Amino acid sequence: MIFSIFYIFVALSAILIVTDMLGLVSKSKKTLFLLNITLLSIIGIVIAGMLAEGMNAAEFGLVSLNSFSLLFALMFTLGIIFVDILGYEETHYQSLLLFTGTALMGAFVVSFSNSVVSIFVGIEIISIATIFAMIQKKKDTLEAAVKFFVMSAIVIAIFSFGMVLFYGATGTVMLVKDYGMSTLLVSMILLITALAFEATLFPFNLWAPDVYQGAPTFATAMVGGINKKVGFVALIEIMFIAFVAYRGVFSNIFYILAVFTMFYGNLVAIAQKNVKRMMAYSSIAQAGYILIGLAVTTGYGIEGSIVQIFMHMLMFIGVMGVVLFMEKRNRNELNDYIGLYSENKLAAIALTVLLLSLIGMPLTGGFVGKFILFSSAVYNNMIWLAIFGIINSVISIYYYAKIMLNMFARKASARIESMGFAIGFVVVACAVLIIAFGIYPQPIIQAAQSAASYIAP
Amino acid sequence: MFAIIALLPLVVLTIAIALLREGSRYLKYVALAASVTPLLLVPWLLGSIGTMQSIRWLTVGTYTLHVTTMLLPLNLLLFILVSIIAPLVVLYANGFMDKLSEDRRFYIEILTFQAAMLVFSIAGNFITLLIGWSFLSITSYLLIGFWNHKENAPGAARKAIITVIIGDLSILASAAIMFTTFSTLNFLTIISDIGGNFVASGPFYVAMVLLLVAVLTKSAQFPFQEWLADAMEGPTPVSAFLHSSTMVKAGTFMAIILFPLFVAAKLSSLMVLFGGVTIVIAISNALVNKNIKRVLAYSTMEELALILFALGVGAYAAAIYFFVMQTFYKALLFFYAGTVIKGNEESEDLENVRLYRGNRLLLAIGLIGTLSLAGFFPFNGFFANIMVESSLMSNTLAYAFMLLVDLGVSFFIIRWFVLPLRKVKNAAMLHKLSFSFAMLDKKMVYASTILAAITLAAPLGSIYIIGAIKGMNHYGYAAAVPSSELLDMVVEMLIVLAGIYFAYYLFYKKGRRIEKTYWLFNNSTAFNAFYRYFADFIYYLGGAAEFADILINEYFDKIGFKTAKLGGYIRNIETGSVSLYVIALIIGLALLIVGVLV
If one compares B213 and B17, the residue with the highest pLDDT of the two is B213
d(CA A368, CA A444): 10
Give which of B241, B351, B257 is closest to B300, Cα–Cα: B241
- Nearest residue in chain B measured CA to CA from A154: B582
**Which residues are CB-neighbours of B523 under 8 A, at least 6 positions away?**
B281, B284, B285
Q: Mutation target for B interface from A195, A268, A277: give the one with most B CBs within 10 A.
A: A268
Give the C-alpha distances (Å, rounded to integers) separating A225 from A219, A228, A230, A299, B214.
Answer: 9, 6, 9, 23, 47
pLDDT value at B334 more than 90 = yes
Give which of A238, A430, A3, A254 is closest to B596, Cα–Cα: A254
Residue in A193, A271, A445 closest to B589 by CB? A193
d(CA A125, CA A106): 5
If one compares A75 and B381, the residue with the highest pLDDT of the two is A75
Q: How confident is the model at residue A235 (pLDDT cuts 50, 70, 90)?
A: very high
DSSP structure string for B367-396: HHHHHHHHT-TTSHHHHHHHHHHHHHTTSH
Rg of chain B, C-alpha, whole Å: 28
Quick: pLDDT tens for B394-443: 778 888 898 899 999 998 898 899 888 888 888 888 888 888 888 888 88
Compute the 3-state secondary structure of chain A and give helix, strand, coil in percent, each to the nearest 5. Answer: 80, 0, 15
d(CA B409, CA B295): 11
Total number of residues shown for chain B: 598
The pLDDT score that the predictor gives to residue A55 is 57
DSSP, collapsed to helix, strand or coil, labels residue B514 as: coil
Quick: pLDDT tens for A28-41: 888 888 888 998 99
Q: What angle, 0 to 180 degrees and rounded to 10, lies between the N-to-C axes of helices B268-288 and B396-418?
A: 30
Rg of chain A, C-alpha, whole Å: 21
d(CA B44, CA A290): 47
d(CA A133, CA A253): 33
Across B396-437, the runs of DSSP E, i.e. the strands, are none
Q: Is A296 on the interface with B (CB under 8 A)?
A: no
Least confident of A66-80, B71-85, B339-353: B339-353
Q: How confident is the model at residue B6 (pLDDT cuts 50, 70, 90)?
A: confident
pLDDT value at B243 more than 70 = yes
- The residue-averaged pLDDT of A89-101 equals 87
d(CA B115, CA B119): 6
Partner A, chain B 76-105, Cβ-Cβ below 8 Å: none
Give the C-alpha distances (Å, rounded to integers) separating B598 from A244, B61, B314, B594.
Answer: 20, 36, 76, 6
**Which residues are CB-neighbours of B132 under 8 A, at least 6 positions away?**
B116, B117, B118, B119, B120, B121, B123, B250
Residue in B56, B573, B582 closest to A154 by CB? B582
Q: Is B196 on the interface with A (CB under 8 A)?
A: no
d(CA A160, CA B85): 74
The pLDDT score that the predictor gives to residue A127 is 93
**Which residues are CB-neighbours of A361 under 8 A, at least 6 positions away?**
A367
DSSP, collapsed to helix, strand or coil, labels residue B52 as: strand
Chain B residues closer than 8 Å to A255 by CB: none
If one compares B494 and B208, the residue with the highest pLDDT of the two is B208
Q: What angle, 0 to 180 degrees and rounded to 10, lies between the N-to-C axes of helices B126-144 and B100-121?
A: 160
Compute the 3-state secondary structure of chain B and give helix, strand, coil in percent, each to the nearest 5. Answer: 75, 5, 20
Say if CB B345 and CB B436 are below 8 A apart.
yes
Say if CB A281 and CB A268 are below 8 A apart.
yes
What is the three-state SS of B528-562? Answer: HHHHHHHHHHHHHHHHHHHHHHHHHHHHHHHHHHH
Q: Mutation target for B interface from A149, A165, A189, A195: give the one with most B CBs within 10 A.
A: A189
Say if CB B280 and CB B317 are below 8 A apart.
no
CA atoms within 13 A on the CB side of B41: 19
Whether complex ipTM tops 0.95: no
Q: What's the one-letter identity of residue B156? A: A
Element containing residue B22 per DSSP (H, E)? none
d(CA A372, CA A23): 43
d(CA B473, CA B261): 15
Quick: pLDDT tens for B274-320: 999 999 999 998 888 888 999 999 999 999 999 999 998 888 888 89
Q: Is A189 on the interface with B (CB under 8 A)?
A: yes
d(CA B306, CA B326): 11
If one compares B245 and B217, the residue with the highest pLDDT of the two is B217
**In degrees rounded to 5, what are phi and psi of residue B57?**
-105, -50
**Which residues are CB-neighbours of A157 under 8 A, at least 6 positions away?**
none
Span between the terminal Cα atoms of chain B, in Å:
59
Least confident of A79-93, A191-205, B19-33, B319-333: B19-33
- Check B588 against A154: CB less than 8 A apart: no
d(CA B187, CA B172): 15
pLDDT value at A383 more than 80 = yes
Element containing residue B64 per DSSP (H, E)? strand B63-70
- Check A441 against B593: CB less than 8 A apart: no
Model-level pTM? 0.80
Say if CB A152 and CB A232 are below 8 A apart.
no
d(CA B555, CA B597): 43
Least confident of A308-317, A346-355, B6-15, B214-223: B6-15
If one compares B335 and A59, the residue with the highest pLDDT of the two is B335
The pLDDT score that the predictor gives to residue A64 is 81
Q: Mutation target for B interface from A154, A262, A270, A392: give the one with most B CBs within 10 A.
A: A270
d(CA A116, CA A31): 38
The pLDDT score that the predictor gives to residue B515 is 73
The pLDDT score that the predictor gives to residue A278 is 93
User: Residue A34: how many CB atoms within 10 A of its CB?
Assistant: 11
**In degrees rounded to 5, what are phi and psi of residue B54?**
-140, 150
Size of interface A-B (CB pairs under 8 A): 93
Q: Is B593 on the interface with A (CB under 8 A)?
A: yes
Q: What's the one-letter identity of residue B147? A: W
Partner B, chain A 299-318, Cβ-Cβ below 8 Å: 300
pLDDT value at A349 more than 60 = yes
Residue in A189, A203, A267 closest to B567 by CB? A267
pLDDT value at B86 more than 70 = yes
CA dihedral for B147, B149, B152, B153, sign (positive or negative): positive
d(CA A365, CA A342): 27
Give which of B218, B212, B385, B247 is closest to B315, Cα–Cα: B385
